[in-house]
Structure 1
Amino acid sequence: MQPVMTPMFTELSEGRIAPPMTARQGPDLASAGYTETEWAASGEAVSYSVGELPTDGRISLAQADSAPFATRVLVRRPGPERFSGVVLVEWLNVSGGQDAAPEYTYLADEILRSGHAWVGVSAQFIGVEGGDAAVGMGGQTGGLRAQRRQRYGDLHHPGDAYAYDIVTQVGRSCRGAWGDGPLAGLAPDTVIAIGESQSAIALTSYINGVHPLAGVFDGFLLHSRGGGALPFDDHGRAAGIATAVSSPTVLLRDDLDTPVMVVQAEGDLGGLLDSARSRQPDSDSIVTWEIAGQAHADAYQLGELAGLVDCGGAINSGQQVFVVRAALRHLLSWVAGGARPPAAPPVEIDDDGEVTTGDLGIGRGGVRTPAVEAPVERLVGAPYPQAAPFCMLLGRTEEVAEEQLRRRWSGRDEYLRAYEEATDRLIAEGFLLADDRDEILADARPERITW
């Protein structure tokens, strides 16, 4: 076991919050009885030394050194009367060159209606100090300190080698060592680590190496991980995400008794993330869902900006938001001693690594949302050919010729009936939530059928 260290928390009050980057406005916190506060977490974090990363994920780490840190922790929490007992600790994503909270975007409605607390951690170097944007327009971006020095000028990050222990310390603090800090007055009983994309890749390394030493988290939700893992040796600098996604294949270790829920989009299986090479069977501790017809990021994530980006056509408008919400609820039930989440078949891929397509050219297998089961558009996880680099993770929504739709549907009534039946079946199977039924039905697209 590594030394037990807990950071000191100081509330940030000068100037304005620089919220995590997002293109979609989340639900109103105040109307849901939530408050948002921001804190500096400071202390001493350790790094780890490791040899070659084993394919089976069973990493053996040794403590290397330690360094001082002061980073940002953003907290969205309900009052004690609404609190579920669950704290979700999101490893904020820095692929755009600054902090983003993609998993909060997908899960916000589920978090608020369930009464969970959410804690976003500026875990990585770029979020605080700035650096190269891996996704987007590229180039150097400013971190929190450069954005608003009055508020964040005292923050400092010693490098991504220390990010793992920073997340450990914040997660440990969520169990009740906050004193009069941001979770004061709450009584957490379940602490879950969540992360999407680069953050899921980082959590892959965390689960495989750090979690067996620290034992802080009760479960993990990994969304859109790649086939490799984030390194442990980035002292004084940011981890190279390009190196991580091209690193040798690393599975999740399967000898833990901590539940791990993995949600992958069809678009994650090939391309940049190439996650198909890290596929592994479900086990007593790991369950994976792959969503057919779904891109890594989508129109839901981009919100009002979805129609403004030029990717050669409409970006993916799949329904992974509803699947991710269901995955979280299953994970929390599993952690509490309930049944393991339902198993799902993988998305079918051929010997060349290409997705095998079926009805209207949509991928076969996988978790199938109503938009895939009762289609009026072609949802594809891969980007348009020759799309700009910004679009490489946004997939496609392609129109289907009227004659194809006529062969598939006799008219709107048949389509809407099939869409509703698919929704109810997927709810019964556990891949969607009954709480989302009205929202899912409102997402039907009968206007595509014009006869």
Structure 2
Amino acid sequence: MTRPPRTAALAAALVTTLVATLLASTPAGAAAPGEREPIARAAVRGPIPGTVPGDPLAERLADTYPFFSTPSDLAAKGYVEEEFYLSGVADGWDTAGNQVATDVAYQTRLVVRRPADPRRFNGVALVEWQNVTAGYDLDALWNAESTIRAGDAWIGVSAQRVGVDQLRGWSPTRYGGLDVTGGGRYVGDQLSYDIFAQAGRAVADPRGVSPLGRLRARTVLAIGASQSAGRMTVYYDRVLPQVQPVFDGYGFIVGSAPTRVGDEPVFQVLSETDVRTPVRPADTDRFRRWEVAGAAHSGQNGQVYRAPIQERDLGAAPVYTCARPPFSRVPMQHVTAAAYAHLVRWVERGTPPPTAPPLVFNPDGTKARDAHGLARGGIRLSQVAVPTALNTGDNAGESFCVLFGTYQPFDEATLDQLYRTHAGYVARVVTADVRNVAAGYLQPADAAENLREALRADVGRHGGTRRP
């Protein structure tokens, strides 16, 4: 079969989407007094044609693949990555929850990573509000290992002007028709809340083209990290009481969380970086908060994953000069994966997640630390409970250094004092991880990975460590 030129296929897709936008522009219907407004149904078109990274035609076709496409070999793991246009009309809201616009046409994109085989799908869709703090869309909560292991689908939503504007400049061929500002009338992301909700509805209750293909989602969770968690907080606290819900539960990661008590459960997971005061909201039957000792807002795992993508799509990965060696290696993503699993059970069975101890503060308001400088309290993964390095959530310096935390390996004298034998070190790692698995803060597969790393380490051998 002869494949049409990619540029022609892209043009055809844009035209089709424009027609779909007009068809989707029929108002959803006003709510009766005292009722919550329905969420309009958006049109989904795609998958968007184009090359994938590594295709020899990519250079000639000017980046006609999804921006920040994952370098993970998804096919080898039974997953696919696809991109779609999402279009329709959205209402606008300010941050106080006042409706400031109605039925404004928009078009944006969805990135989908899902099981190729419906039999691999567990029925859970994680809909992430893409983070734009760096000036472009960032899939901050994509974790290939835990997502694929669970059989989840992940959907990234480009809801904000900064991200969409960057996409338009990065590839006018692919993204030139995107607009989430109503032609420049609403540049403060007033439409973002409704766009995100419409994306959730397209996943939860598809009509026509489904972003998940043949898959059907049973549970749809909204997730957001940092800046995106802040946007979702406004949505949950101020907008959601006025509109019909589309998400079954919410995960607010390394960022703010709602203060309103709603019908849908809320899970907040914070790194050490994000906990700045001993004053905290109480856990309830609809709210749970976890704090992870030693973890950073943006730690080593994310930096390693994103560096090759930044080099490919942005020309270079950023280099930072921080006050202390950056990037905590406490695997925050392991706790987040456990939290998602609890959130699903909370939604589907009504089983609330376990509570977790908070980080400890001194009377003067500073974080309490042990003799090695490690934070006291909180969820203590084996990287903190059985330490071989100083991992903290604190740092300083230029740009984003304050978010990176610190990683400083212990010297051999300290390691010799802590661990006399390799077997003793491994046994302590296993004990800490078993405790966290039993408490619900860590999944068994991640505990197994910690064990493999401990077995490979030189701690307790030859008078110290050779590989930090």
Deviations along 1:390-422, one digit per CA (max 9) or x if unpaired, are 322111012334443333332322222111111
Query: How far is 1:288 from its partner?
Result: 0.6
CA distance in 2: counterparts of 1:179 and 1:277, whole angstroms:
49
Q: For 1:278 and 1:202, locate their aligned partners in 2 and report how far apart those are by CA, in whole Å.
A: 22
Cα deviation, 1:139-159, whole Å, max 9, x if unaligned, reads: xxxx11110111111111213
The match for 1:215 among 241, 245, 249 is 245
Q: Which string of whole-angstrom CA distances, capped at 9 and with x for unpartnered residues, describes residues 199-242 of structure 1?
A: 1111111111222322111001111014xxxxxxxxxxxxxxxx
Find the partner of 2:270 among 264, 285, 299: 264
Runs of 4+ that moved beyond 6 A: none
Say yes or no: does 1:176 pair with 2:214.
no
Shift, 1:64, TM fit: 4.0
Q: In the alignment, which of 331, 336, 345 is matched to residue 324 of structure 1?
A: 336
Q: 1:49 to 1:417 in 2, by over 3 A?
A: closer
- Report how far residue 278 of structure 1 moved: 6.9
Q: Is the 8 A contact 1:254 1:286 kept in 2?
A: no
What's 1:46 paired with? 91
Q: CA deviation at 1:350?
A: 2.3
Provide the residue aligned with 1:447 in structure 2: 458
Displacement, 1:447? Answer: 2.9
Give secondary structure in 1 for the equivalent of 2:261. coil
Q: CA RMSD in A?
A: 2.3
Q: 8 Å contact 2:67–2:167 — kept in the other structure?
A: no
Mark the CA change 1:30 to 1:181 in structure 2 (over 3 Å): closer, same or farther. Answer: same
Deviation at 1:63, TM superposition (A): 5.7
Superposed, which structure 2 residues align to 1:352-431 within 5 Å? 352-383=364-395, 385=396, 387-431=397-441
The answer to whether the 8 Å contact 2:81/2:114 transfers is yes
Q: Is 1:2 aligned with 2:42?
A: no
In the alignment, the residues of structure 2 paired with residue 168 and residue 193 of structure 1 have an alpha-carbon distance, to the nearest angstrom, of 9
**Deviation string, structure 1 residues 115-158 (Cα, Å, up to 9, x no partner):** 221111001111111xxxxxxxxxxxxx1111011111111121
The offset of 1:253, in angstroms, is 3.0
Counterpart amino acid of 2:146? E
Q: Which residue of 2 aligns with 1:115?
A: 151
Q: Secondary structure at the match of 2:66?
A: coil
3-state secondary structure, aligned to 1:214: coil
1:400 corresponds to which letter in structure 2? F
Matched residues in 1 for 2:206 and 2:105: separation?
Answer: 20
Whichever residue aligns with residue 366 of structure 2, its letter is E
What SS class does the counterpart of residue 341 from structure 2 fall into?
helix
Counterpart for residue 134 of structure 1: none
Deviates further, 410-419 or 90-99: 410-419
Structure 2 counterparts to residues 69-80 of structure 1, below 5 A: 69-78=106-115, 79-80=117-118
**Post-superposition shift, 1:338?**
4.3
Question: Whose relative contact order is higher, 1 or 2, with alpha carbons under 8 Å and at least 6 apart?
Answer: 1
Aligned equivalents of 1:442, 1:61: Cα separation in 2: 53
Indicate how the Cα distance of structure 1 residues 258 and 340 shifts in structure 2: closer, same or farther if over 3 A, else same.
Answer: same
Contact 1:178 1:184 in 2 (8 A): no
Aligned residue for 1:132? none
- Tell whether the 8 Å contact from 2:45 to 2:209 is kept in structure 1 after alignment: no
Q: Which amino acid aligns with 2:253?
A: H
Work out the CA distance in 2 between the residues paired with 1:395 and 1:50.
Answer: 30
Aligned partner of 1:253 in structure 2 is: 259
SS in 2 for 1:103: coil
Give the counterpart letter for 1:2 in structure 2. Answer: E
Determine if the alignment matches structure 1 residue 204 to structure 2 residue 233.
yes
Matches within 5 A, 1:164-313: 164-212=193-241, 213-226=243-256, 252-270=258-276, 276=277, 279-303=280-304, 305=307, 309-311=320-322, 312-313=324-325
Equivalent residue in structure 2 for 1:20, among 56, 68, 73? 68
Question: Relative to structure 1, is the Cα distance of residues 307 and 7 closer, same or farther in structure 2, using a 3 angstrom cutoff?
Answer: closer
What amino acid is aligned across from residue 168 of structure 2 in structure 1?
Answer: R
Give TM-score scaled by structure 1 length.
0.82
SS at structure 2 position matched to 1:41: strand
Is the 8 Å Cα contact of residues 278 and 360 (structure 2) preserved in structure 1?
A: no
Unaligned runs of 5+ in 2: 1-35, 51-60, 182-186, 308-316, 464-468
Counterpart residue type for residue 127 of structure 2: V
| Local SS of the residue matching 2:108 | strand
1:72-106 CA-to-partner distances (Å, cap 9, x unmatched) read 111112232222111111000101110010101xx
Percent sequence identity over aligned pairs: 34
Equivalent residue, structure 1, for 2:18: none
Q: Is residue 50–residue 62 contact of structure 1 (8 Å, CA) maintained in 2?
A: no
Q: Which runs of 5+ in 1 are unaligned?
A: 52-59, 130-142, 227-250, 271-275
Q: Which moved more, 1:95-104 or 1:181-190?
A: 181-190
Mean Cα displacement is larger for which, 149-158 or 347-356?
Answer: 347-356
Equivalent of residue 92 in structure 1, options 121, 130, 155? 130
How much does 1:280 deviate?
Answer: 0.5
Query: Would the aligned equivalents of 1:7 and 1:44 in 2 still touch at CA under 8 Å?
Result: yes
Q: 1:83 to 1:310 in 2, by over 3 A?
A: same
Question: How big is each residue's C-alpha offset from its partner over 1:38-91, in whole Å with a ceiling of 9 and x where there is no partner?
Answer: 11111111112565xxxxxxxx64464442111111111223222211111100
Larger Rg: 2
Counterpart among 130, 140, 146 of residue 169 in structure 2: 146
The 8 Å contact of residues 95 and 234 in structure 2, kept in 1 or not, is answered as no
Q: Take 2:176 and 2:101, find their aligned partners in 1: how far apart are those partners? A: 28
Equivalent AA in structure 2 for residue 74 of structure 1: V
Residue in structure 2 matched with residue 33 of structure 1 by the alignment: 78
Match of 2:466 in 1: none
Q: Note if contact 1:313-1:397 (Cα within 8 Å) is conserved in structure 2.
A: yes
Map Cα deviations across residues 173-199 of structure 1 (whole Å, 9 max, x no partner).
112323133223222221100111111
Separation in 2, partners of 1:439, 1:323: 14
CA displacement at 1:448 relative to structure 2: 4.9
Structure 1 counterpart SS, 2:345:
helix
Name the CA distance, whole Å, in 2 between partners of 1:359 and 1:339.
38
Letter in 2 for 1:154: G
Q: Which residue type is aligned with residue 6 of structure 1?
A: R
Instruction: Give the AA of the match of 2:298.
Output: A
Letter in 1 for 2:85: A
Q: Hey, what's the Cα distance between the residues in 2 that align with 1:277 and 1:217?
A: 31
Normalised TM-score (structure 2): 0.79
Matching residue of 1:334: 346
Shift of 1:34: 1.9
